[in-house]
Structure 1
Amino acid sequence: MRTKRLTLAITTAVVAIALSGCSIGLGTAGGFSRSGTLAGPVDGIDLDGASLSVGSKNFTEQILLGKMTVILLKSAGADVQDLTNIPGSAAAREAQLAGQVELGWEYTGTAWLTYLNNAKPIPDERKQYIATRDADLRENNLVWLPPTPMNDTYTMAISAESAKKYKITKLSEMSKVPPAERTFCVESEFTNRPDGLKGMLEAYDLPLDSPKGIPRENLRTLQTGAIYDATAKGDCTFGEVFTTDGRIEALDLTALEDDRSFFPKYNASLVVRQQVLEEHPEIEKLFAPVSEKLTNEVIAGLNAEVDVDGREPSEVAWEWLCDEGLVR
């Protein structure tokens, strides 16, 4: 976490310098997004004449959320600058603080621990949202709209074969696996951060480098995308995953329940600059139905359409909004 914060601070400083000397905008790859007519619970919301900018980070879930935002705002009549696909959290955050991005989706855990520099997460997701919301409004004039049910956090996953063999569904049941078979595929960052592998193993009474826990030789370090495939193939018994990743279902993995609530909560919220929301309060009503519908299952399915099926995020976002009766 200390390294992550230092990296964030350095990157933020560099981005701030770049933003201060550049008036032509961020170098994103927003691309094309459709627009239609608002329908259902958002029918009649009018943002005609509003000029708004939308940002997102550069991974699938963020781009999907950003595209939903662009589509709904355009369909409400707003003139929208699409700044989705910004490289990295630090750049996306600095762009919003600097006013280049006015709306973007963010995660409570990321903001509370990294942007707002708190040492420990708040286990209760509602309390963490409230604390993050209040602090970011007070310190940065950013308004956090009500959060989604989705929680994009860490856990361990096992293959279908391992699920059948060991009959486990919770992290507390990892101890049922014979010691020699407690093998893990993880990212290098996950092995070093305090809210990562070492802390998790201690929380579940399987300390790293302990005869009663996990020997270091049982760890295999891989890139994020490779972990899912390696776990599904049985190269390791446990694989580090994100709970909303569409590859969990696509590869028939079982995400183990964090039944001791070790990992921080990462609920997503649409974050809007305070001045923008004061000028256009309709934005909150426009996105309320979206936030209510975005469960882990829903966003994981949408992520899979992009990461597994190879579809364009803007088309997946458009189709989902149509299916949910929010645009036509």
Structure 2
Amino acid sequence: MKARIRRGCAAFAMTLTVALVASCGLEAGRSVPLEVDPGSIQPIPELQGVRITVGSKDFTEQEILGLIIAFALDAAGAEVRDLTDIVGSNSLRDAQVRGQVDIAYDYTGTGWINYLGNEAPVPGSQPQFEAVRDADRAAHGMLWAAMAPVNNTYAIATSARTAEETGVRTLSQYAKLANTDPAAAATCVGTEFSVRQDGFPGVIRKYGIDAAKVQKQVVDDAIVYQSTADARQCRFGSVAATDGRIPALDLRLLEDDLGFFPQYNIALVMRADFAEAHPRVLDVLTPISQLLTNESVTELNRKVDVEGREPADVARDWLAAAGFITIP
């Protein structure tokens, strides 16, 4: 796989603090990385020359989603600044609350648990969306809109071979194995998943895993997938359900039989005052959200993480194939 070019001020730091975002400022963003022409998205007079900064987190799916927003708004005539690839959920969130990022796709479960501090998810995609939408607007003036069908929930995965050897198909069975034979349940967890309450600490509590016994290795998210498939460094691993490496490596997702993980549907997030000032932004982006399914997003991710293509190319080609834009 070829190395991917990382963009923006976040690319030059291992971590991104709010101070770094502030010091880089909006000028740290760039214009969209590739040219686009209108398709079904036509220039909108109300957006002509409007400066809009688009953000995303620093993993494949988020980069693609952020660039989809950027290309679409560029085709509509906005003056788009690309501030995708921000390191970590909290850094993107802080940048949005402070007005340094105008719009991004985020996850309803992340909003409910991480940003709003709730411990228990709301069952069901639509009820979870409505709960985070109402609470975040009331508490922070943030607007959630245009929820997509895609639900990129966290999961624990294993290889087909390990599933066959251990008989583990559910998280309850994984918990039993972790408590009785910790080495057989050695687990790689991504950095953020290792500390999030909707991540591994919560899994341990919900499923009654003995934290003193569990064999856990905290590694970069990109390492989890191949390590789990190889079953040498670890036999189980934390994954995102729409990652394209899951089908490519023949990984199996364990059933969350106690219903621990929240719904993680993506939705557009922006400050309410920005949305009120520029209502046509939702006119442009809502039809795009409607096409973002688990299947379509998994395939977009696969093109980057398995085929080694650039996120910008993948995002632009998808928009063009759907007729939203044309490629000059």
Normalising by structure 2, we get a TM-score of 0.81
Deviation by residue 1:193-232 (Cα, 9 ceiling, x = unmatched): 544345435544x63269xxxx43x444433222211211
Q: Which residue of 2 aligns with 1:34?
A: 35
Deviation at 1:192, TM superposition (A): 5.4
- Which of 219, 231, 234 pairs up with 1:234? 231
Confirm whether residue 53 of structure 1 aligns to residue 53 of structure 2.
yes
What amino acid is aligned across from residue 209 of structure 2 in structure 1?
A: P
Q: In structure 1, the residue corresponding to 2:297 is in which secondary structure?
A: helix
Q: Which residue of 2 aligns with 1:278?
A: 276
The percentage of aligned residue pairs carrying the same residue is 39
What amino acid is aligned across from residue 184 of structure 1 in structure 2?
A: T
Q: In structure 1, the residue corresponding to 2:38 is in which secondary structure?
A: coil
Structure 2 distance, partners of 1:192, 1:25, is 30
Q: Which residue of 2 aligns with 1:8?
A: none
What amino acid is aligned across from residue 33 of structure 1 in structure 2?
A: L
Which deviates more, 169-178 or 179-188? 169-178
Deviation at 1:128, TM superposition (A): 2.1
Deviation at 1:30, TM superposition (A): 6.7
Structure 2 distance, partners of 1:91, 1:191, is 17
What amino acid is aligned across from residue 207 of structure 1 in structure 2?
A: I
What amino acid is aligned across from residue 247 of structure 1 in structure 2?
A: R
Q: Which residue of 2 aligns with 1:186?
A: 189
Change in Cα spacing, 1:258 to 1:281, as seen in structure 2 (3 Å) is: same
Structure 2 distance, partners of 1:57, 1:188, is 14
Q: Which residue of 2 aligns with 1:25?
A: 26
Runs (5+) with no aligned partner, structure 2: 1-14
Q: In structure 1, the residue corresponding to 2:55 is in which secondary structure?
A: strand
Deviation by residue 1:47-96 (Cα, 9 ceiling, x = unmatched): 33433221112221111111000110111122212221223333322222
Runs (5+) with no aligned partner, structure 1: 1-10
Which deviates more, 189-198 or 231-240? 189-198
Change in Cα spacing, 1:31 to 1:280, as seen in structure 2 (3 Å) is: closer
What amino acid is aligned across from residue 263 of structure 1 in structure 2?
A: F
Which deviates more, 132-141 or 218-227? 218-227
Q: In structure 1, the residue corresponding to 2:325 is in which secondary structure?
A: coil
Q: Which residue of 2 aligns with 1:150?
A: 150
**Runs of 4+ in structure 1 displaced over 6 angstroms?**
175-178
What amino acid is aligned across from residue 326 of structure 1 in structure 2?
A: F
Q: Which residue of 1 aligns with 2:219?
A: 222
Aligned CA RMSD, in angstroms, stands at: 3.0
Deviation at 1:265, TM superposition (A): 2.2
Q: Which residue of 2 aligns with 1:171?
A: 171
Structure 1 distance, partners of 2:31, 2:169, is 39
Normalising by structure 1, we get a TM-score of 0.81
Structure 2 distance, partners of 1:126, 1:303, is 24
Spell out the pairing of 1:99-110 with structure 2 (5 A cutoff).
99-110=99-110
Structure 1 distance, partners of 2:113, 2:94, is 16
Structure 1 distance, partners of 2:49, 2:137, is 26
Q: Which residue of 2 aligns with 1:125?
A: 125
Structure 1 distance, partners of 2:48, 2:147, is 26
Deviation by residue 1:109-142 (Cα, 9 ceiling, x = unmatched): 2222222222333233322211211122223322
Structure 2 distance, partners of 1:200, 1:326, is 40
Structure 2 distance, partners of 1:189, 1:79, is 33
Q: Which residue of 1 aligns with 2:251?
A: 253
Structure 1 distance, partners of 2:191, 2:86, is 23
Structure 1 distance, partners of 2:201, 2:273, is 42
Structure 1 distance, partners of 2:194, 2:270, is 34
Deviation by residue 1:253-298 (Cα, 9 ceiling, x = unmatched): 1122323211122221111222332233222222122212212222
Change in Cα spacing, 1:194 to 1:115, as seen in structure 2 (3 Å) is: closer
Tell whether the 8 Å contact from 1:30 to 1:84 is kept in structure 2 after alignment: no
Structure 2 distance, partners of 1:188, 1:53, is 27
Tell whether the 8 Å contact from 1:152 to 1:242 is kept in structure 2 after alignment: yes
Tell whether the 8 Å contact from 1:55 to 1:86 is kept in structure 2 after alignment: yes
